[in-house]
Structure 1
Amino acid sequence: MTSTTVHLAVYDTFADWETGHITAHLTQNGFTVRTVGPTTEPVTTMGGLRIQPDLALDELDPADSRMLILAGAHLWDTGDDLAPFAAKARAFLDAAVPVAAICGATAGIAREGLLDDRAHTSAVPFYLDATGYKGGEHYRDADAVTDGDLITAGPTEPVAFAREVFARLGVYEGEKLDAWYRLFRDSDASAYEILSS
């Protein structure tokens, strides 16, 4: 299962639009996306969709995954409900399995200390400063940042976030990765021919 399985964390108020490009293109390219929730009880996304998680967080083993993807959610900023997901991200990174975090999830992993010594980005620097983390000197003003096994992105950058995930997993590479990004970021029709060849 580890060769093609990617885990997508889902929880109440999950920002469902932030991972749509990722899940669609992973599935079309031979990957299996499994959802992992706090439990296996259904969750409701920010868009009002109900998702039945495939497994509970305490069942998730990094050895069974190629990557853990954490999207934003109101819950990242309103308490500690999602702290176990940040702790699981630590377990993934400790096991050398990549983690990708966007939007509010960057604050969650900042609180966990995972951004203290890695290059990263988020919405704006002061958003992460409010977490009390110690990684401000590593903040990059960029759409998305990859530092080893950790990918971060700001809330308005789901396409750049997807690009970094695809690069890390080898879904698209080189000219095709660039074409995918130009097609979905810029609506560059000339990129379609490259991508479909």
Structure 2
Amino acid sequence: MITIYVYILDTLADWELGYVTSELNSGRFFKKDAQSVSLKTVSYSKDPIHTMGGLTIVPDCLIEDMVASETSVLLLPGANTWSDPKHGTIIEKASKFLSSGVLVCAICGATVALANIGVLDNRPHTSNGSGFLEMFSPCYKGQSFYIDDSSVADHNLITAGSTGGLLWAKQIIEHLGVFQSDTLEAWYNYFSTGKPEHFFALMQTLPSNNEN
């Protein structure tokens, strides 16, 4: 089973997680032999958090309950509160996960938190545009590894800017291998363009629609 740990914190940017958590939790477009997925919200305490959109989320588990394995994933969403020192523990955990080969995915403000501990200094990554990381992370030294794209995958690190949630989701799903490749392509084409032909193409890739 794949365990998806979603770190939650106050002012979490709801829209950034929507595509990836919806698809991984529902499994509605999974291929027949896909591994099952367990999605767990995690935080530094059991206190509920309040998202940017006004939703209240109660953590399923604490940081110390997280287990690093080849089927673990850590999602770090954007938020306006990453500078709070109490989030340092999850960033240290993220660094250890990366060193152990665990998939870590950071978007928007979470990329600043990774930049602050030097994680982005020597591997391809992206964020909210050129100059953003320098503005909020004075110790950032990864300019030569910065790629100006909405989302960038580098082995077990996937980073994105605040408008890159869809491509970020695609790259995460692709890394996990839970969609057929044609399903993933049609899914991405549909949600990025809204054109009905891509929806019908998506439906045709699903196992139940290909049985005689």
TM range (shorter): over 0.9
Pairwise CA RMSD of aligned residues?
A: 1.5
Question: Which of structures 1 and 2 has the larger relative contact order (alpha carbons within 8 angstroms, sep 6+)?
Answer: 2
Structural mapping, 1:46-85, within 5 Å: 46-63=52-69, 65-76=71-82, 78-85=83-90
Higher Cα radius of gyration: 2
Aligned to 2:46: 40
Write the deviation string for residues 136-164 of structure 1: whole angstroms up to 9, x where unpaired: 10000111100010000110111111111
46-55 or 60-69, which deviates more: 60-69
Q: CA deviation at 1:49?
A: 0.8
Retained in 1: the 8 A contact 2:2–2:73?
no
Q: Percent identity?
A: 36
Partner of 2:19: 21
Give secondary structure in 2 for the equivalent of 1:82: helix
Distance in 1 (alpha carbons) for counterparts of 2:19 and 2:126:
20
Q: Is contact 1:93-1:99 (8 Å) kept?
A: yes
Q: How does 1:180-191 map to 2 (within 5 A)?
A: 180-191=187-198
Q: Residue 181 of structure 2: which of 161, 174, 195 is its match?
A: 174
Q: TM-score of the superposition, structure 1-length normalised?
A: 0.93
Instruction: Give the alignment of 1:142-161 within 5 angstroms.
Output: 142-161=149-168
Long gaps (5+) in structure 2:
28-35, 205-212
Output the amino acid matched with 2:126: T
How far did 1:175 drift?
2.1
The answer on whether the counterparts of 1:44 and 1:51 sit within 8 Å (CA) in structure 2 is: yes
Partner SS, residue 85 of structure 2: coil
Comparing 133-142 with 175-184, which one deviates more in the overlay? 175-184
**Residue correspondences, number:** 194
Counterpart for residue 120 of structure 2: 115
Summarize deviations over 1:77-124 as a string: whole Å, max 9, x none: x44332222111101111111000000001011112111111000001
The one-letter amino acid of 1:128's match is: L
